[in-house]
Each structure stands twice: as C-alpha cells, then as structure tokens.
Amino acid sequence: MKRTIVTAITAATLTLGVAATTVNAMGQELNMLTGAIYNELNSLGLPTDKIGDLTLGEIVQIQAYLNDESGMGRTQGIKKILDDH
C-alpha cells in the first residue's frame, strides 16, 4: 500500500513538473511574439502603448495583418484592433 501511494505521489509530482515547464515555454513564446509585434508596430509608426492589453487572438490578428504581403488595409486593420482597447 505504501508503495502505491509513493508511486502515485511521484507520478503526480512529475506530471506537475512537466506541465509547469510547458506553461513557462508557452509564456516565453508569447513574450517573443509580442516583442516582435511591438517592434513592427514601432517601425510602422503605430502606437504600442496598449500592446500589453491585447488578447492572444488580437495578437494573432495583428500578426496576420503584418504578414499580409499585399498590404491592403494593413494599417487600418491594426489601428482598429488597437483602438478597440
């Protein structure tokens, strides 16, 4: 019985450690993406003061606008997202 409890506790501890590492890595990736978007907005002369308030979905939308090679409505679309905050 003691062995079963120790095994369960060990498994739970290892699972939490892996989950915490995954969350930390995801946070770092989000920070890198946000930093890249900050630099792009800054180079386009767009405001960057609200970038910390953006949701992940809004960051993805801005990234899509920045990756749009046609550039059609790019600045207006980004401004709309930023103005909504």
Q: Please report the pLDDT score of residue 18 as a whole number.
A: 55
Q: Please report the pLDDT score of residue 70 as a whole number.
A: 73
79 to each of 6, 13, 28, 52, 63, how far by Cα in Å? 56, 45, 26, 15, 13
Residues with Cβ within 8 Å of 73's Cβ and at least 6 positions away in sequence, in order, are 65
- Our measurement of the distance from residue 84's CA atom to the centroid of its chain's CA atoms, rounded to an integer in Å, reads 18
Domain residue ranges in the chain? 2-83
Is the pTM of the predicted complex or chain greater than 0.85? no
Q: Please report the pLDDT score of residue 23 as a whole number.
A: 56
Q: Please report the pLDDT score of residue 84 as a whole number.
A: 83
Q: Please report the pLDDT score of residue 76 as a whole number.
A: 87
pLDDT tens-digit profile, the chain (85 residues) = 555 665 655 655 656 565 556 656 667 888 888 888 899 899 889 988 888 888 888 988 998 888 877 767 788 889 999 888 7
CB atoms within 10 A of CB 33: 15
Q: Please report the pLDDT score of residue 9 as a whole number.
A: 57
CA distance 53 to 71: 25
